[in-house]
Amino acid sequence: MVGMHLDLSGKTALVTGSTQGIGEAIAVSLARAGARTAVNGRRPDVVDEAVARLREVVPGADALGVAADVSTAEGAAALVSALPEVDVLVNNVGVFGPRPALEITDDEWRRYFEVNVLAAVRLTRAYLPGMRERGWGRVQYIASDSAVVIPAEMIHYGVSKTALLGVSRGFAKEAAGSGVTVNCVIAGPTHTGGVEDFVYQLVDRTLPWEEAQREFMRVHRPQSLLGRLIEPEEIGNLVVYLASPQASATTGAAVRVDGGYVDSILP
């Protein structure tokens, strides 16, 4: 059996919201696979720093930065103007935060849909036609276990991620038969920036990190079959596979990298 080599050389990939956390890990993973990788964020200085880190981690990487707020129509248009053609679009940008359900205002609901849903819709609308014309492309949406298990403390976030599942399936039908695949990635509880502080708010601070996170998962996230937090690189690995030619028969799917957190055979 020949080993699988995921090679994205010659492809241009764009990852929105990729200056930190999961988005940054995805950008690094795509660059390692040989893709020309565009890092995106709102602030030029932060984008430049993320591009520098990527080049340090992946020597020789073909990386560029595009600063634009894709949650607005103007920002999305500016990004597309700066980067008119991509082969792999990863819609990762998103916001989240706890709020009592009955206290979520209309403006907050609108903000969550602008950032978490409409940003992805705008960029898909901009880039999918070119992918179809070229007969190859990959569109991905980074969703969450919260899309399926709506968290009581932030239903606006969960509902926005549920919407992405429908957006992904709908655009997959639009791309049917064209050589372009469209998929959702359902990410589970992930080890990112402030998560360690959050974990240590709930478990003994004297525990080493590996023990602390497993205790946190055992007590506070018992649904997980992994028993630990997911590393951002593990999400990046799945994104690279779905972006590769080897995933040509996977489209219209919601693919889970959730450590078995969602207690369901299907998402």
Known catalytic residues are 157
**What contacts 63, CB < 8 A, 6 or more positions away?**
27, 31, 36, 37, 38, 39, 51, 54, 55
| Chain position carrying tokens 């219209």 | 252
User: What DSSP string describes 75-104?
Assistant: HHHHHHHHS---SEEEE---------GGG-
**Cα 91 to Cα 120: distance, rounded to the nearest angstrom:** 5
Of 228, 246, 147, 139, nearest in space to 187 by CA: 147
Other Cβ atoms less than 10 A from the Cβ of 182: the count is 28
What six digits make up the tokens of 148?
Answer: 């399926």
DSSP 33: T
DSSP conformation class of 154:
-
